[in-house]
Each structure stands twice: as structure tokens, then as C-alpha cells.
Amino acid sequence: MTIEDIQNEIIEEFSMFEDWEERYQYMIDLGKDLPLIDDQYKTESNIIKGCQSKVWVHAEMKDDRVVFTADSDAIITKGIIAILIRAFSNQHPKDIIDADTSFIDKIGLKEHLSPTRANGLVSMIKQLKMYAIAYQTQLK
Amino acid sequence: MFKVEDIRKDFPILSRKVNGKPLVYFDNAATSQTPQQVIDVIVDYYSNYNANIHRGVHTLSQEATDLYEQARQKIQRHFNAKFSHEIILTSGTTHGINLVANGFSSLLKKGDEIIVSALEHHSNIVPWQMLCERTGASLKVIPMTQEGELEMAIYDTLLSKNTKLVFVNHISNALGTINPIETIIDKAHKVGAAVLIDGAQSCAHLKPDVQKLNVDFYVASAHKMCGPTGVGVLYGKEEWLKKLPPYQGGGEMIAEVTFEKTTYADLPHKFEAGTPNICGGIAFGAAIDYMNSIGFDAIASYENELLAYGTKQLLTIDGLKIYGTSEHKTSVISFNLDSIHPYDVGSILDKLGIAVRTGHHCAQPIMDYYKIPGTVRASFSFYNTKAEIDSLVEGVKKAKMMLS
């Protein structure tokens, strides 16, 4: 599936929720369920410091696709990470570079991606794209 | 007679909704809300008096200058400074601290010591670290206890003839502890050290008497006490303010300028380079009038009631731990729920229209001491109610249910 397809699928899923509580509960459950990153990658150098919650990101290349794993110490942040990873992981670098993130607005989680939210998510998306750019260069 | 229902009518923002719910504003330690009386002064200033102050011969400039200098006198009376020229209007507490720290650059040398407390806000740590780097002086820290109080016996051992400066906050922003500043000041003076007290948190809850305290410097911000952001006060004893060199150069702060030499203006203008926050200063005066019209005794007694009620109600929640349990504290409750991240709790509370602060509260050393990433901090003001505290308690229970 393309990034856009996955994003549309996520939007579709979220459209079934009636209010913020259901949306948040779903996100919290996503955050709880997924072992997002291997502990060996939760290093100081993989950490993205938001002012409040920490985010770890690790990337590797498998068959010309970038595979991301990530984690956070806050569960709501972790839930959003799970959503982002679902959309961006296992994709070609170029598609990741070109992808937009407006689907986050469409599923009612816009406030978590505000640059002032201090949860590390904005920096995380930047970091995902940076990895994609780096791997794209390698492919050439 | 203190009636919270009437007081709430003075604050237009308290009737707005957030995320479809009535706003419950418990982030007062970060910034207080503004009453209509102060908003009116701001509107009146820009509608009728806006002009640059000092040395203007035209009527508007003179009227604006009068209003600004009257505000300085209100601030002087409020803090009970001996002279109005001991009141330096700043952009806020941080500016005041930096002004003093910078001034001491030329007065300190290697081997001198500066004492700060473990309870400080970053803005009362970093300027002193920078001062130490510039001068070779070293920084000593008064440690804290589990309850969030200062270890006063260790303070005694830190003081020596090398101590030149002591900096402590009057009230801790992260925990609400009221520090024993009278003792801290007396003991510092006995070894000949100067003392700066950071009053950013205290000025909303009590009325400091700088002469009675015999403090050398006292700093505060208007926006913590119902005034606007971007304006604050540095009180300094005249002898100290005369000794310190100017902080910034510019207009307003000079007596005479030639390319060979500039002589500086007298106090307070020596420290007030450039066009000040004129409207802010005048509104600061109005905020002080407003708070005094309610009365600091009434404010303190009502806020203590809220603190006692909030503490009791929050502690009914299983797994909730309060950080900062000193008997001497203001209406600040810093807490965590089991091992749930404060960011998560704050995000759910926000959805319920409840504004709290989460994180390390710019006091990372305190969080390191407790080995936690941060706390959820609810800080109450005299316009809050017990019903709002009930909403908070319900909100925290909901957050616990969703997040556990």
C-alpha cells in the first residue's frame, strides 16, 4: 500500500469514533499494545528531546525500503508514533520525503503536532524525513 | 467581604469555554488572569495617553510620564521600598535577575562563592552559572529534603567569608514551598553577602516588605499578579544600585553623551535603557491596586482553604502522589499518578477544559531529585472555586481510567 492509501485507511478508521474520548482511547490502546522499538536502540543518540516527553527513533534499510521503529515515555505520544510509523515505515525513501502529514489534522489529533506542544513529535517527523533523505542519497 | 462569585465577574476569560467545556484555569503559577479593571487601563492608555515618556514637552508625553511614574510609586508603596528610585521597571523577573548577575561581573573574582538553592527555577540558576563562568566564582547549592524544604543546617555550613551572593526564591514554582527567607537573609548578611530573592511566585500570594526583610534585591513579574506580561520589577537597595554598573546602554539611561565619554543618568533611569513597556508599567500599577482592593490577607486565607481542600480531595485518588509536602506552602499542588507520564494526564485534562501545567516546570534539578520526568501542577488563585477543584479531581480520575 502507498503512504496515501494507508493514511486514508487511518482516516476511515478514525471517522468511526464519535468523540475525542473514543479517539484517545484508541490511540492509548495502540500505544500500549505495540512494542515499537528494540531496547538496544533506545540510546541517547536516538533520542529526540521534546521539552516534556521523550521520543526515540531508529531507522534501517531493508530491500530499498526504510523501516522505522520508535518509542516514547508518554503513552499518547506513543499512540501517535504508532500511527505515524504505520504510515511511513516500510516505504521507499522518496515516497517518505514527499509524503505530507495533514492526515493527522483529519483524525482530530492536530494539537499534538503543534510545534509548541513540546512532545517531540514535530521533531520526530523531521527526523523520519531526514533518514529518508539520507537513504535516498545512498540509493543514488 | 471576600466573595469569590463576585470576584470571578471581574475576569472575562473565566467565562469562556475550552474544548466545549467551561474553562477551569489552574495554571496560575505560570501566569495569572487579568481582571477587567486592568484591561480597561490598557485600553484607556492606548485610547487616550499613548506617547513616549520622559523629556517630551508636549501634553501627551507629560501625561503618560505622570501615569508611568505614579505606577512606579504604587509599586514602591506595595513592596514598601524606601525610595521610588529603588524600583527598576524591567521586562520581568528573568530580566531583573540578569541585570543583577551582570552587574556583579565586575565585583566578583576567583575564589568568591555564590549560593543558590536546589528549589530554583532555571532562570535563577543559569544567570549565576554564566556569572561564575565570567568571574571564576563558584556556585554552591543548598540541598532540599523529600518534603521539598531547604536543608537549612547545610546552608549554615555553606556560608563563609567567601560567600558574596545568595539567591533563593521566596516560593518554589514547582512545589509551592515557602522558603524561610528571613533567616536566609540574616545569615547571609552576617558573612557580608548580598541576597537576591526571586519573588515571581510569592507576589501573587503575599505582600513582601523589602525594608522589614532587609533584602538587597527582590524581583517579581506583573503577569503573576493579575498584570500584563512583559513587565516586572527589580527592587534594589539604593547603595547596591549605585554600586552596580548599567546593564544595557541606550536612550533614557544617560545624563550626557559625547564620543569621548558618557555619564549615566541617576537611578532608576540608569537601569532603564530604551523606551520601556509604558502601558505595561501603568497596568502593573493597576494590577497592584486591584489585588490590594481584595486584600492579601483575604487572598491568602482563601487560597489556603483551596489548598487544603484540593490536597484532601486529590489524595482520595488511588496511586496519586503529591510532591512538595511542606507545611509552609502556597496553593500549588504538584502530583503524579502512579507511573503515568504527566504529559498524558495533562492532555486528557485539557480535553476536559482544565488547564494545568505539566513537565519539569523549568526546575529540572527538583525532578532529578525525585527521579521523575516531571509532574502535573495545579496552581490555584483567589478566583478559583472548590467546585473547580471537584472538576479537576473528576478529570484526574478519568485520566487514570483511560491511561491505566
Q: Find out whether B27 and B39 touch, Cβ atoms under 8 Å.
A: no
Residues of A in contact with B19 (CB under 8 A): 20
pLDDT score for A17: 92
Mean pLDDT over A32-42 rounds to 80
For chain A positions 110-139, those within 8 Å of chain B (CB to CB) are: 111-112, 118-119
pLDDT of B161 higher than 90 = yes
CB contact under 8 A, A51 and B351: no
Task: Provide the CA B66 distance to its chain's centre, in angstroms.
Answer: 26
Q: What is the pLDDT of residue A54?
A: 84
Rounded CA separation B259/B247 (Å): 19
Q: Cell triple for residue B116?
A: 543558590
Least confident segment among A32-36, B67-71, B98-102, B357-361:
A32-36
Position B258 confidence tier, pLDDT thresholds 50, 70, 90: confident
Is A122 a residue whose pLDDT tops 90? no
Q: Which of A63-77, A91-105, B287-301 has the highest mean pLDDT?
A: B287-301
Which range has the worst mean pLDDT, A6-15, A31-40, B35-44? A31-40
Q: Amino acid identity, residue B402?
A: M
Contact B344 A76 (CB under 8 A): yes
Q: At what angle do helices A20-33 and B342-351 cross, to 10 degrees?
A: 160
CATH code, A15: 3.90.1010.10
pLDDT tens by residue, A112-121: 766 666 667 7
Closest chain B CA to residue A52: B359
CB–CB contact B348 A52 (8 Å): no
Tens of pLDDT, residue by residue over B291-302, are 999 999 999 999
Among A47, A75, A111, most B C-beta atoms within 10 A, so best to mutate, is A75
Q: How many residues does the structure list for chain A?
A: 140
Average pLDDT score over residue span B238-244: 96
CATH superfamily of B4-27+295-403: Aspartate Aminotransferase, domain 1 (3.90.1150.10)
Contacts of B312 (CB under 8 A, 6+ apart): none
In angstroms, the Cα distances linking B269 to A9, B49, B85, B265, B282 are 64, 21, 8, 6, 16
Confidence of residue B362 (pLDDT cuts 50, 70, 90): confident
CATH of domain B51-292: 3.40.640.10
Question: Tens digit of pLDDT for each residue in B71-88?
Answer: 999 999 999 999 999 999
pLDDT at position B131 over 80: yes
pLDDT per residue over B27-37, tens digit each? 999 999 999 99
Residue A48 is part of which domain span? 3-139
| Tens digit of each residue's pLDDT (9 = 90 or more) over B204-219 | 999 999 999 999 999 9
- pLDDT at res. A50: 66
Catalytic residue among A16, A35, A51, A137: A51
Distance CA B165, CA B136 (A): 14
At residue B252 the predicted structure's pLDDT band, cuts being 50, 70 and 90, is: confident
Number of Cβ pairs < 8 A linking chain A and chain B? 43
Q: Where in chain B is the domain with CATH 3.90.1150.10?
A: 4-27+295-403
- pTM equals 0.93
> What's the distance, Cα to Cα, between the start and end of chain B in Å?
44
Per-residue confidence at B121, pLDDT binned at 50, 70, 90? confident
Tell me whether residue B74 is exposed, middle or buried, using C-beta atoms within 10 angstroms of its C-beta: 0 to 12, 13 to 18, 19 or more: buried
Tell whether B375 is within 8 A of chain A (Cβ): no
- For residues B40-61, one letter each, b for 16 or more C-beta atoms within 10 angstroms of the residue's C-beta and e for the rest, the string is ebbeebeeebeeebbeeeeeeb
Tell me how many domains chain A contains: 1
Question: Which residue in chain B is spatially nearest to A28 when comparing CA positions?
Answer: B403
Q: Residues B155-184: what's their mean pLDDT?
A: 97
pLDDT tens-place string over residues A1-26: 999 999 999 999 999 998 999 999 99
| Candidates B132, B203, B279, B362; catalytic one | B362
Q: Tell me which DSSP letter residue B323 carries.
A: E
B355: region left, alpha or beta (phi > 0 left; psi from -120 to 50 alpha): beta
Cell numbers placing B271: 537601569
Name the 3-class secondary structure at B3. Answer: coil
The pLDDT assigned to A116 comes to: 65
Minimal Cβ distance to A73: which of B341, B347, B350: B341
- 3-state class of B79 per DSSP? helix
The answer, for A17 touching chain B at a CB cutoff of 8 Å, is: no
Question: Which residue out of B344, B345, B356, B364 would a mutagenesis test of the A interface target, given it has the greatest number of A Cβ atoms within 10 Å?
Answer: B344
- Amino acid B128: pLDDT: 87
State whether the Cα torsion A7-A13-A16-A18 is positive or negative: negative
Averaged pLDDT, B300-329: 97
Instruction: Provide the pLDDT for residue B86.
Output: 98
> What is the least distance, in Å, from the CA of B403 to any CA of chain A?
7
Inspect the interface and report whether the beta carbons of A53 and B341 lie closer than 8 Å.
yes
Residues B350-368, mean pLDDT to the nearest whole number: 91
Question: Which among B19, B350, B374 has CB closest to A52?
Answer: B374
pLDDT at A51: 62
Mean pLDDT of chain B, nearest integer? 95
A77 CB within 8 Å of a chain B CB: yes
pLDDT score at A118: 62
> Which residue intervals of B173-295 are DSSP H helices?
181-190, 210-213, 238-243, 278-294
Give the confidence band of B255 by pLDDT, cuts at 50, 70, 90.
confident
Closest CA to B384 of B312, B314, B305, B292: B305
Closest CA to B135 of B167, B103, B160: B103
What's the pLDDT at B81?
98
pLDDT of residue A135: 94
